[in-house]
Structure 1
Amino acid sequence: MSAPSTDRLRPRDEAEAAAIVRWAVSESRTLDVAGTGTKQGLGRHIQTDATLDLSALSGVTLYEPAELVLSARAGTPVAEIEALLAASNQMMAFEPMDFGPLLGRPRGGGTLGGLMATNLAGPRRPSAGAARDHALGLRAVSGRGEAFKAGGRVVKNVTGYDLPRGLAGSYGTLAAFTELTIKVLPRPETLETLLIYGLDDATAAKAMSAAVGSYYDVSGAAHVPFVLAGRIPALALAGTSVTALRLEGVPPSIRHRREKLEGLLGGFGALGHLEAEASSTLWAALRDVEPFGEDLSRAVWRVSTAPMQAAAIGAAVEAAGGTCFYDWAGGLIWIEMPDADPRPGLVRDAVTVAGGHATLIRAAVAARAALEVFQPLDAVTGALVKRMKDGFDPSRVLSPGRMYAGV
């Protein structure tokens, strides 16, 4: 293959993608793996010789609603897939977030490949898992320029699960996905949200723990402090902090479960609820971190921790002028700093004390190039990550350094 005439290489099929990677290996060039580019602001900032643009590899190749299975090329827009599933009253149960509002990109621009490369998940994560938990099979090109496949197209295919799951969340550093097969699930008939008003962060964690630990099938649990509630249209009139608990299913079941939860949680504070339309708006806003989409200059962190430890991390952040809200019943904390300074020492120290891991999601290019964006690895995990990179991409062609320097 001769030298390219542009720094954005757009293969039309898997064979061309493999040929581009083989050329890069032979010429000691590096490639940034991307689709439409909506997530290129995630991870460490890197400079490569060219971009392997997989957006032309688009289209659903298999959809069997009765079998709950869908296959599509990596560049297929997530919005297209969601529309197709909705027509059959189905969904991607892991509820992938849309990074557009948070990163200053258009809404609805992400692709299936980018979704799996970043292992996305939304408010349903504690019960449904993340993207990797719904991966059945894939086709991809390794950093050696070799096309390969793993897994299959049936839910009962157990033998091929490990590699599709293992490559999810690798941010294009191990392989360039060309096609993916995922498990889909029926969409709930409707939803409602039970609200508890006026709780502080620590008390909200107790209320959410009681709710998700009950028999009442809570599919989402989040807490929004007063300072942020006004930024979410569905909560703008609350005038106080709001703890939200989502119930999904058929109306009689929702009504029964809401009444039981009201009895369980009434001692925590004043109660209210949202009907289906307002509930959908609320959970989409929480999923996409819309409260932090107003000032794109401010650094944003994503912290995963034990739910009952979340308030301690939040207190440390707020003492430094930051703001946060809690998803996954407190297991996920979204943090916005008061300015562009990510304050990594503050965040990582708080996480070290409480337990968990922190990822810098939004920051200036200079910060993303200089800092550890992902949680620093211990020696054992670091050695394992390096071995995986050596196996899939020994020449360090694919998105080198996107996750960790030197890898």
Structure 2
Amino acid sequence: MRPETEADLAEMIAGATGPLRVQGGGTRPIGVPVAGDVMETGGLSGIRLYEPGALTLVAGAGTPLSEVDAALAAEGQRLPFEPMDHRVLLGTTGTPTVGGMAAVNVSGPRRIQVGACRDFMLGARFVDGMGRVLKNGGRVMKNVTGYDLVKLMAGSYGTLGVMSEVSFKVLPKPETSAVILIEGLSDERAVRAMSMALGSPYDVTGVAHAPKGIDGAPVTMVRIEGFEKSVAYRAGQMKALLADFGDIAVETRAERILSGWKWVRDVEAFADQPGDVWRLSVKPSDAPALGAALQAEGLLYDWGGGLIWALVEAGRDIRPAMAAIGGHATLVRASAETRQTVAVFQPEPAAVAALSQGVRAKFDPRGILNPGLMG
């Protein structure tokens, strides 16, 4: 099924007699595999409104992200939360869409500074499991409309409703950027350096550490963006602040900065390596201990250590190794068999699970929208 209008979408959902496997461009098969008729939202495409002066963009849920990026770039703007492209890591094809990005709440390295995808969603139109068209929010940041269903839809993986249209706040692109690079740090020293960078007044927009960088050596990266003179000053101050951690280089070549942070954002280091990939949220101070406890094949630290990507042997549940330290784990890449036997999403406490089930029962009483995908 491929609806071309919101009315088509509502009619198809209302008339569905069995489970529906909802997807945008098919680039993010994350979650428990769903058996059902495929509903593809790619027909709900097109930028409906773009007001650069108001920093507002409204697009159909099936609109390719590349189309949005191109329109924003022409006006010197961007989606500030730096959404990850999962295709390289997951080995998928297709085209990432606005709706898929919003449904998964996809964010990247810049989240530490600006926030997540959901923080820039101004409004959404969607169809619930009964075929009812609902809308929430608007086209400005300051709107009071009761329950914040926009935030509820973000990260719901299409289990509460199928989005037909999303409006976003966008921001200007910076004039230039610089990256402070430190090689050879242990995970523990790298987290200390990243914490110092984040605690500084120099407004960093990305802080990551790879125990095995592109050239095979450990590398710690601190990104600064903004006006040229400001970036030059802040990069110099940051270099001085972190001087005790070893030899420091400052990268200012735009193409190398873009490719380096794409490598971090899309977890390209694990793309061609066998094994499962987990995404872990943890207190940065606990990150080195957790990284050691995992005994992983590969690690990548983002968000100053608050986000860990771990490559482990196929079929292994890493949560027992996390028990003494804590954290939140999501299985991002694994075989269909593993995703049916190992919990993909962090198991919820009983009270939270009851609330989640109650919300799903209200929006999808027939249980037909991506049933079981989130466990």
TM-score tier by shorter-chain length is over 0.9
Size of the aligned set, in residue pairs, is 374
Take 2:159 and 2:174, find their aligned partners in 1: how far apart are those partners?
36
Give the alignment's Cα RMSD to 1 decimal: 1.3
Pairing partner for 1:105 from 85, 92, 117: 92
For residues 98 and 279 of structure 1, do their structure 2 counterparts lie closer, same or farther at Cα, with a shift above 3 Å needed?
same
Aligned equivalent of 2:78:
91
Take 2:9 and 2:151, find their aligned partners in 1: how far apart are those partners?
22
| 2:279–2:332 contact (8 Å) kept in structure 1 | yes
Q: 1:44 Cα deviation (Å)?
A: 1.1
Q: 2:315 aligned with 1:374, yes or no?
A: no
For residues 21 and 180 of structure 1, do their structure 2 counterparts lie closer, same or farther at Cα, with a shift above 3 Å needed?
same
Aligned equivalent of 2:361:
390
Pairing partner for 2:264 from 286, 294, 309: 286
1:52-84 Cα distance to aligned partner (Å, 9 max, x none): 111111000000011011000000001110111
Aligned pairs (5 A) from 1:309-348: 309-318=286-295, 321-337=296-312, 339-341=313-315, 343-344=316-317, 347-348=318-319
Q: 2:9 aligned with 1:38, yes or no?
A: no
Aligned pairs (5 A) from 1:216-231: 216-225=202-211, 228-229=212-213
Aligned pairs (5 A) from 1:1-400: 9-24=1-16, 27=17, 29-39=18-28, 41-48=29-36, 50-106=37-93, 109-159=95-145, 162-225=148-211, 228-229=212-213, 232=214, 236=215, 240-275=217-252, 276-295=254-273, 297-318=274-295, 321-337=296-312, 339-341=313-315, 343-344=316-317, 347-400=318-371
Q: 1:247 Cα deviation (Å)?
A: 0.6
| 1:137–1:161 contact (8 Å) kept in structure 2 | no
TM-score, length-scaled by structure 2: 0.97
Take 1:305 and 1:330, find their aligned partners in 2: how far apart are those partners?
8
Q: 1:133 Cα deviation (Å)?
A: 0.7
Take 2:95 and 2:20, find their aligned partners in 1: how far apart are those partners?
21
Q: 1:161 Cα deviation (Å)?
A: 7.4
Aligned equivalent of 1:5:
none
Letter in 2 for 1:393: D
Take 1:161 and 1:180, find their aligned partners in 2: how far apart are those partners?
17
1:252-279 Cα distance to aligned partner (Å, 9 max, x none): 1111111111111100111112122211
Take 2:337 and 2:43, find their aligned partners in 1: how far apart are those partners?
31
Identity of aligned residues (%): 46
Take 1:369 and 1:18, find their aligned partners in 2: how far apart are those partners?
30
Letter in 2 for 1:368: R
SS at match of 1:354: coil
Q: 1:354 Cα deviation (Å)?
A: 2.1
Take 2:325 and 2:144, find their aligned partners in 1: how far apart are those partners?
36
Take 1:401 and 1:266, find their aligned partners in 2: how far apart are those partners?
50
| 2:293–2:322 contact (8 Å) kept in structure 1 | no
TM-score, length-scaled by structure 1: 0.90
For residues 101 and 160 of structure 1, do their structure 2 counterparts lie closer, same or farther at Cα, with a shift above 3 Å needed?
farther
Take 2:229 and 2:144, find their aligned partners in 1: how far apart are those partners?
36
Unaligned runs of 5+ in 2: none
SS at match of 2:66: helix
| 2:81–2:115 contact (8 Å) kept in structure 1 | yes
SS at match of 2:34: coil
Take 2:233 and 2:144, find their aligned partners in 1: how far apart are those partners?
37
For residues 161 and 330 of structure 1, do their structure 2 counterparts lie closer, same or farther at Cα, with a shift above 3 Å needed?
farther
Q: 1:43 Cα deviation (Å)?
A: 0.9
| 1:94–1:125 contact (8 Å) kept in structure 2 | yes
Q: 1:350 Cα deviation (Å)?
A: 3.3
1:292-334 Cα distance to aligned partner (Å, 9 max, x none): 1113x4100000111111111110123xx52101000000000
Q: 1:160 Cα deviation (Å)?
A: 6.1
Unaligned runs of 5+ in 1: 1-8
Q: 1:176 Cα deviation (Å)?
A: 0.2
SS at match of 2:272: coil
SS at match of 2:127: strand
